[in-house]
Amino acid sequence: MKKIICIIISVFMILSMSLIAFAEKETIVGNLSAKSAILMEISTGKVLMELNADEKLSPASITKVMTLLLVFEALEEGKISLNDRVTASQNASSKGGSQIWLKEGEVMTVHELLKATVIASANDACTALGEYIAGDETAFVSMMNERAKSLGMNNTCFENCSGLDDTVTNHYSTARDVAIMSRELMKYEKVKEYTTIWMDSLRNGETQLVNTNKLIRYYEGATGLKTGTTSKAGYCVTATAERDGMELVAVVLGSDNSKERFEDAKKMLSWGFANYSIYKPQIDNSLITKVKVFYGVENFAKTIVEAPKPILIEKKIKDNITQRVDMCVDVEAPVEKNQTLGKIYFEIDDEIIGECAILSENRVEKRDTWFIFLLLWSSFTKKS
Could you list the active site residues? 61, 64, 121
> CB–CB of 176/54 below 8 Å?
yes
In angstroms, the CA 93 to CA 103 distance is 5
Q: Give Cβ neighbours of residue 143 (< 8 Å, ≥ 6 apart).
A: 70, 133, 134
Are 256 and 290 contacting, i.e. CB atoms less than 8 angstroms apart? no
Q: What CA–CA distances, in Å, run from 319 to 12, 14, 271, 281, 344?
A: 15, 11, 20, 12, 18
Burial of residue 101, with CB atoms counted within 10 A of its CB: 0-12 exposed, 13-18 middle, 19 or more buried: exposed
Instruction: Return the HEC string of 265-287.
Output: HHHHHHHHHHHEEEECCCCCHHH
289 torsion bin: left (phi>0), alpha (psi -120 to 50), beta (else): beta
**Angle, nearest 10°, between helix axes 64-76 and 175-185?**
20
Euclidean distance between CA atoms 175 and 287, whole angstroms: 44
For the four alpha carbons of 31, 34, 38 and 39, in that order, the dihedral sign comes to negative
